[in-house]
Amino acid sequence: MNGGPMKRIDLDLLGELYRKYTEPLAKVRDQQRAFCRDMRGKMTPQLDDLEAEITYLLLREHRPAIVMELGTFHGWSTSWILSALRDNGTGHLHSFDIVDNVVSNVPAELSADRWTFHKGDVRENVDAIPAESSTCSWTPPTTAASPAGTSTTSSPRRGRDPVSVHDVFHQSFALPSPRAGPYSSGWRRRKRPTSPLQGQGPDTYRAIHAIKRDLGLDEPVRTGKDNPMIYFHLPA
């Protein structure tokens, strides 16, 4: 991590980051739009635009040395994360999943020497978890084989590390299922996360889109609008 702890992940910070990284974000959006088009039929994108962009922006600002991604599916989130590390000029991504579709999907120019993929249930690959993880992105596993216990075996290992979790707020409440996992239940009660979901925070949702319009970033990359991801700092 460069410098001190990050600011609280809220609308003020997100607006600041959208403005600070407007130009590189615009280039990555164009890159990802083309990637999505070229991979049609081979890839099902999981992250919607806001959650993908916010993930990129937080990684740009935080400049982590090590990133953990739990759940890759076809590689959409992986490509966004790797784009941020490429643009930072530093950092390494460790991805874990029980299927390896992502390996053939992620462009070589993104993976380069900044990515390690670990196939298998993360609970059976604990030794592969980097000891100094400094940020974590968790997407529910691509099958029902391994959601339980994920947070206790593979979360970042330092307090205040930023964490994002996908597939939580598809409505105005967290889904009562293992897909949301203990991140959205126990930790959510301890520290309210930020979510760009329209139903969870409509004012935040509209405000972010207003910022994007002002910056010329309003053309969609893909059509999904749920944005169910949450963002928070790991409790110290």
How far apart are the C-alpha atoms of 196 and 48, rounded to whole Å? 10
pLDDT band at 210 (very low <50, low <70, confident <90, very high): very high
pLDDT band at 142 (very low <50, low <70, confident <90, very high): very low
pLDDT of 186:
42
pLDDT of 203:
80
pLDDT of 125:
79
pLDDT of 183:
43
Tell me the average pLDDT of the chain: 75
pLDDT of 73:
80
Question: Above 50 in pLDDT, residue 170?
Answer: no
124-160 CB burial, b ≥16 within 10 A, e <16: eeeeebeeebbbbbbbbbbeeebbeebbeebbbeeee
Q: Which of 186, 128, 131 is nearest to 157 (CA)?
A: 131
Question: Above 70 in pLDDT, residue 23?
Answer: yes
pLDDT of 181:
46
In the block, tokens 């962009």 appear at: 53
How far apart are the C-alpha atoms of 57 and 84, rounded to whole Å? 8
How far apart are the C-alpha atoms of 53 and 199, rounded to whole Å? 19
pLDDT of 99:
87
Ranges 31-35, 40-44, 148-152, most confident: 31-35
Question: Above 60 in pLDDT, residue 197?
Answer: no
Percent of the chain's residues with pLDDT above 70: 66
Question: Above 60 in pLDDT, residue 168?
Answer: no
Across the strands, what pairs with 97? Answer: 119
pLDDT of 188:
46
User: Among 23-37, 71-85, 134-148, which is the least confidently predicted range?
Assistant: 134-148
How far CA 52 is from CA of 24, 45, 84, 132, 149, in Å, comes to: 14, 10, 11, 24, 25
Are 48 and 170 in contact by the 8 Å Cβ rule? The answer is no
Question: Above 50 in pLDDT, residue 89?
Answer: yes
Percent of the chain's residues with pLDDT above 90: 37
